[in-house]
Every structure is written in structure tokens, then in C-alpha cells.
Amino acid sequence: MVEFSDRAALLSAHERIRPYVHRTPVVSSRSIDGMVGARVSFKCENLQRGGAFKLRGALNTVLSLTDAEAAHGVATHSSGNHGAALAIAAGIRGVPAYVVVPTNAPKVKRAAIAGYGATIIDCAPNVAAREAALAEVVARTGAYFVPPYDDPRIVAGASTATLELIEQVPDLEQIWVPVGGGGLASGCALATRDTGIAVIAAEPAGADDAARSLALGSRQDMPNPQTIADGLRTPLGVLNFAILSACGVTVALASEAGIVAATRLCFERLKLVVEPSGAVPLAALREAPASQPASRIGILVSGGNVDLDALAELFRNAPAS
Amino acid sequence: MVEFSDRAALLSAHERIRPYVHRTPVVSSRSIDGMVGARVSFKCENLQRGGAFKLRGALNTVLSLTDAEAAHGVATHSSGNHGAALAIAAGIRGVPAYVVVPTNAPKVKRAAIAGYGATIIDCAPNVAAREAALAEVVARTGAYFVPPYDDPRIVAGASTATLELIEQVPDLEQIWVPVGGGGLASGCALATRDTGIAVIAAEPAGADDAARSLALGSRQDMPNPQTIADGLRTPLGVLNFAILSACGVTVALASEAGIVAATRLCFERLKLVVEPSGAVPLAALREAPASQPASRIGILVSGGNVDLDALAELFRNAPAS
């Protein structure tokens, strides 16, 4: 029997989504290599359709639905990249998308979700209001709920970014990946099993639930995350935690000042627009003790959806390094 | 006899520099395609080493020198990308580089030139001071002068960006390319000869010497260029003008507001850090009358070396489109 997490299942997710996603490029910078003391290969999921890796999981899920499941469209809750990804995926499948968006979501992300053709349902910015709004829209429309990360189809889809990276750069010793809900990180852990590549999940010190969860062996809460990396404020998923644990993934933390500086480095040296969440692995790598040295490192840059005006304000206080 | 401009000469330049330059990726955005009404493929020379296409020409020239010519290093004058490119090229050849830099050059560009290992010679910001400083350093060191664009080896090197683009996207009907001194544009004209691909050179309306020169059939001055696109303020070169004329290249102009808006579009939709000069073709394309419609368009994004703080200020006055 093929388990969802078997390599064959990951490869079949890749076949399923390949016609619709970009095989994103890998870039590098000699000046960053010099700072870090290793050759660092950046997998540019900020250049993915929708501006983030999220399309991979959303599309794998939407294309896996039976005709009956998909008949009335798909629904989710999201303040950001997953909502946009589901809207694109629904468009590809040719079904409607409904996205519950908190009223305090950034205007640019709301506009992106609507721009990709989804119907937006407003909700108050709290978990109870969000779940009520989602339940209401699912009951009313018959849409199929596609969760943002805690789902085997999402994880299998997300794993394809790592499958591509290890094809594009075959000699990596380590891959550093941001961890929030854990979709990208658990997909990376599955895609690198039995390859000898170590996976390091990077998270903000101000949202360190993955670090504490893996240290204690059970999922820990993060009641009040404090980080500029908005994509990594979400709690670690149940399935995602189980995969990270089983695969022996370690966690490295990044300071807020380090995250801002790493984001700026990506703009200045890689010439890439990267959202703070996507720069967290570089930040953690620069702050890591040299106890785990590697000479060939991959980094998954998760996305590039930022409010440029807000970012400019941030950079004003973080001069070029 | 193989002329410098024959396809064989361009291919041999490509062979010469290939081990040291990035084969930069080509990206696209469905939202930009929708705005323009065509499929637009962006060749990302902002992701080239040194942050601009300039390394291609500088390196082709430096690697073409005899040992005697290269023995005492290379020299040039530059306030920007050519100086950085020559510094990198000299490092590859293992010889010193001397770059004459006007005292008003942006600090980041000066830092980049020094960071790549060149010796900087300051000069007052005018042509006479610059030429005197260059003559002095050449006389004193015996360094070989490598001009920024008005040279067949520079043009052949620059042509390789277009050679790659038409390999990467074989069905283009038009290529839009920024024109300042004309190195990239004349290289593009040579690389597309006999392919049926039309070349449109894009320049700021406030620095329209190429447009006037090609219309009148002789090189025209541009005494006081007024544009944010600092890479395109230079006068069109003699050789570059001759090639653009002979190849029947047409020119399209871009407004200053259009250049800022196109730069912002590259950040927001392509997730790329692009300098205003690199966004001029997109700006001109968006402002062009629909008289020359094409469905498959390539754009050469020339570079990504910007002062992020200055750009943020610019974007503040140019909201998202």
C-alpha cells in the first residue's frame, strides 16, 4: 500500500501539479556565501504563482478531489497566501472558491485573493468568528473545506518544492526551511528522507512553538506570537508535528533584528522581493552557532508577498549590512 | 573572415564567458500579461553576478586580452554597474582593476566596486576630470582601458543575454531592451539578426537621444538628461548607434511616472528587485500605441542595483497599480 508520505505519493503529487506550477529557479550570491561560510542555494518560491509555495499544496488537494467533492467549489480561511493559492487552484479546476478573511488582513493580500477570482467572506479577527464564518459558508454553498497545512495532501504538495530543489542542486548537506503551521517543513522532511540531507526548521524566537514542541515531544501552544514574520505566527499542525518528530528535524531560532536584516540582504544581494517569513532561514543560519557546519546548504524561500510601503519603514531602521 | 558581429563571434563570446556568468532565469506574471495583452517573458539580468548584464561585456573583453595587454590590470570610469562588472572580471582573470568614480556616485555603488576588489580613484563629477583621472591611472599603472559600451567586445559579450533568452523562449516575436549607451541594445540587435524577431529599444522620454539619433540618421546629443533611470543617462555610443541603425531597431519612449510605476510592478508582481533603468522597457510597452501588436514578447531586465531607501521614497508617491 502506498502511504501518503511514501516517495511514490510525493512524486505523484508532483506529476499532478506540474503542468500548472512554476519550476522555480535556484539562485545564489557569493557575498552571502562569504558571510555564512558555505555555498547557499536559495529555492525561489517567492517566484511561484501567487507569490508563495502555497499553490503546490492547495492545487494538489483541489486536483485530488472527486468530481462530487469539488462540485460546489472549495472554501478556506486565510489572511494571506493560502487564500490566494486556493483561489488560483479553484480557477484551474474550474470551480468557485470562498475565502473567509479577517477584517484586519492586509489590504494587498485581500486584493490578491479577490483578484484571483475568489469570493471573500469577512469575519472578525478571532478564531471563533473565523470558524463560525467558515462553517456557515460550507453549510450554505456545499463547498469543500481545504485546510491550510494540517493535511496529507497539502504536505505532499508542499514537498514538491524540495523535490525540485534536490534535483536542481543534487549535493546539498542541509536544507533550512521556515516553520509556521509546518506544511513546507514537513513536506521537506518527507522529501529528504533517506537522502542523508539534514532538515533544519527555522522559526522566529518570538513564535517558537515548533522548537518547544519538538524539545518536549508534544505540541505546545503559542498564545501570543510576537514576530514580523506574519506567515509563521500560526500554530504547528498535528500531522506536521508528527512528521517533523518522526523525521528528527531540528529547529533553529532567529531574532527579530536578524529577520529584518536577512530580508534586506535578500533584496540587496539576491535582488529578490522576499517576505520576512521567507528570510527566517537565512536569519537563523546567520545566528546559528557553528556547531553544525555544512558546506552545501539549501534554503527554501517560502514567499514574497509583502507590503512594500511597510517594508520600507522597517528597512529605515535596519541599514544595509 | 569572421566579423565581430557575425553569429559565430557572438557564440564564441558566449563560450568564453559561460563558465563564470549565471544563465539567468526567465520569469513571467499572468497579471502583467493581462495588463499588456501579450505573454511577456522577463530575462532576469538583475540576477546576474554584480546585479546587472554588464559582467557579460566586461568579462568578454577582459578574457579576450592578450597576456601582455592584461599584465598590468584593467581600468575604466564608471559611476555604477560597469565598474562593478570590471572589478569582478579582473578578479576572474587575476589582475588588478582601477575604477575612476565621480565623488557624487551613490555610496552603495561605490561600496560594491570596492567590495569586488577594485581600487577606486575619485574624480570630480564632470567629463574633463573623469578623462584626466583615467589618463593618469592608465599612464601610471599601465592598466588596459576597458570602455563601458562603445566597443565590439563589450557588444558581443552583452549579446549573450539575448542568445540565452531566445534559447529559453524560442517563439518570441519582439524583444524590448533598455537603451542608454547602447551596449545591451546593439548586442540584442546582432543576436536577433535573421531570426525574424523585432527589437524595440526603450528609453526615457527625458533622455531620448537614441530616438532622435535613429530618426535623424546621425548621433544626437543629450546635454541634460532628466530621468530617474540613471543607467540610461549616458550618450549613445558610435558603434552602438551604427548597429542599431543597420539593424533597423525602432525606439519607444517611457514617461517618468510610467518608469516608477513599472519598477513598482516588477517588485510587486515579479517579486524582483529591478532598478528603474531595467523597468523602462515594461514602462514603454505599457505606454505604446497598439500599432505594433505582438503576442509573445521578451524583455531584457538590465539590472537590479538600487538604493532601497531612495526607492521606497519614490514608491511612496506611486501607489500600487
Q: What CATH number is associated with residue A82? A: 3.40.50.1100
A79 is catalytic: yes
Give residue-wise pLDDT tens across range B216-247.
999 998 888 999 999 999 999 999 999 999 99
**In terms of domains, do B133 and B166 share one?**
no
Please give the pLDDT value at position B294: 85
- The DSSP call for residue A27 is E
Q: Strand B97-102 vs strand B198-204: parallel, antiparallel, or unpaired?
A: unpaired
Residues from chain B contacting residue A315 (CB–CB below 8 Å) = 308-309, 312
Model confidence, pTM: 0.94
Query: Is A165 found in the same domain as A133?
Result: no
What pLDDT band is residue B284 in, cutting at 50, 70 and 90? very high
Cα separation values, A262 from A36, A44, A228, B35, Å: 12, 15, 12, 33
Long-range pairs for A23-27: beta carbons < 8 A, 24 or more residues apart: A23/A164, A24/A48, A24/A161, A24/A164, A25/B25, A25/B27, A25/B47, A26/A165, A26/A168, A26/A169, A26/A298, A27/A270, A27/A272, A27/B22, A27/B25, A27/B47
A169-191 average pLDDT score: 98
**Pair (B155, B30) in one structural domain:** yes
Residue of A271, A313, A315 to mutate, interface with B, max B Cβ within 10 Å: A271
Residue A321 has pLDDT above 60, yes or no: no
Q: Three cell numbers at B195?
A: 531570426
Q: Count CB atoms within 10 A of the CB of residue A292.
A: 12
Which residues from B are below 8 Å from A88, CB to CB?
none
Does the residue A128 lie in any domain? yes
- Shared domain for B117 and B182, answered yes or no, is no
CB contact under 8 A, B49 and A27: no
d(CA B245, CA B236): 12
Mean pLDDT of all residues in B126-149: 96
- Domains contained in chain A, number: 2
Residues A191, A110: one domain? no
- Which residue type is seen at A24? T
Range of the domain at A237: 7-52+151-316
Rounded Cα gap, residues B250 and B247, in angstroms = 9
pLDDT tens per residue, range A298-309: 999 999 999 888
Q: State the number of CA atoms in the 13 A half-sphere of A166 facing the CB.
A: 22
| In-domain check, residue A1 | no
Per the residue annotation, which of B79, B186, B213, B302 is the catalytic one? B79
Residues in chain A: 321
- Note whether B224 and B257 are same-domain residues: yes
* Short-list A27, A28, A29, A19, CA closest to A55: A19
* Residue B155 is assigned to a structural domain of this protein: yes
> Would residue B166 count as lying in a domain?
yes
- B54: exposed, middle or buried (Cβ count in 10 Å: 0-12, 13-18, 19+): buried
pLDDT tier for residue A107 given thresholds of 50, 70 and 90: confident
Question: What pLDDT does residue A277 have?
Answer: 96
In a domain, A118, yes or no: yes
Q: Is B310 on the interface with A (CB under 8 A)?
A: no
Whether B267 and B300 share a structural domain: yes
User: Do B315 and A304 count as a contact with CB atoms less than 8 A apart?
Assistant: no
CA R_g for chain A: 18
Judged by DSSP in three states, B169 sits in: coil
Q: Kindly report the nearest CA distance between residue B265 and chain A, in angstroms.
A: 11
**B182 to chain A, minimum CA–CA distance in Å?**
23
% pLDDT > 90, chain B: 84
Q: Please identify, among B145, B160, B195, the residue that sits at the C-terminal boundary of a domain.
A: B145
- Computed over every residue of chain B, the mean pLDDT equals 94
C-alpha cell at B146: 576597458
Environment class of residue B7 by beta-carbon count within 10 Å: exposed (0-12), middle (13-18) or buried (19+)? Answer: middle
Q: Active site residue: A5, A29, A79, A213, which one?
A: A79
A66 and A17, same domain (yes or no):
no
On whether both B42 and B89 belong to a single domain, the answer is no
Q: Tell me the backbone φ, ψ of residue B147, rounded to 5 degrees.
A: -70, 160
Of the residues A29, A54, A109, A186, only one is catalytic, namely A54
Angle of the B7-17 helix axis to the B152-168 helix axis, nearest 10: 90
CB-based contact (8 Å) between A27 and chain B?
yes
pLDDT at B291: 60
The pLDDT confidence band at residue A79, using thresholds 50, 70 and 90, is confident
Is B321 inside a domain boundary? no
Average pLDDT of the residues of chain A: 94
Residues 6+ apart with CB under 8 A from B70: B62, B93, B95, B144
Residues of A in contact with B267 (CB under 8 A): 273, 308
Which residues, in sequence order, are bridge partners of residue A98?
A75, A119
Calpha distance A119→B272 (Å, rounded): 29
Which chain B residues are closer than 8 Å to A273 by Cβ?
267-268, 270-273
- A132 vs A223, more confident: A132
CB within 8 Å: A308 and B264: yes
Range 110-129 of B in CB contact (< 8 A) with A: 115
B245 residue type, one letter: S
Given A101, A125, A145, the domain boundary residue is: A145
List pLDDT tens digits, range B36-72.
Answer: 999 999 999 999 999 999 999 999 999 999 999 999 9
- The H-assigned helical ranges of A100-224 are 107-115, 127-141, 152-168, 183-191, 209-216
Distance CA A234, CA A223 (A): 10
Query: What is the value of ipTM here, to two decimals?
Result: 0.92
Tell me whether residue B115 is in a domain: yes
Q: Are residues B181 and B201 in the same domain?
A: yes
251-270 of B, contacting A, C-beta below 8 A: 264, 267-268, 270
Q: Which pLDDT belongs to residue B76?
A: 97
Domain boundary among A92, A126, A145: A145
State whether B213 and B300 are in the same domain.
yes
Nearest by CB: A272 against B31, B108, B272:
B272
Distance CA B13, CA B56 (A): 9
Q: Rounded distance, CA A5 to CA A281, Å?
A: 24
Residues A122 and A188 in one domain: no
Residues B200-220 have pLDDT tens digits of 999 999 999 999 999 999 999
Cα gap B219→B229, rounded to integer Å: 21
With respect to residue A307, please indicate whether it lies within any of the assigned structural domains. yes
Beta strand B250-254 with A250-254: parallel, antiparallel or unpaired? unpaired
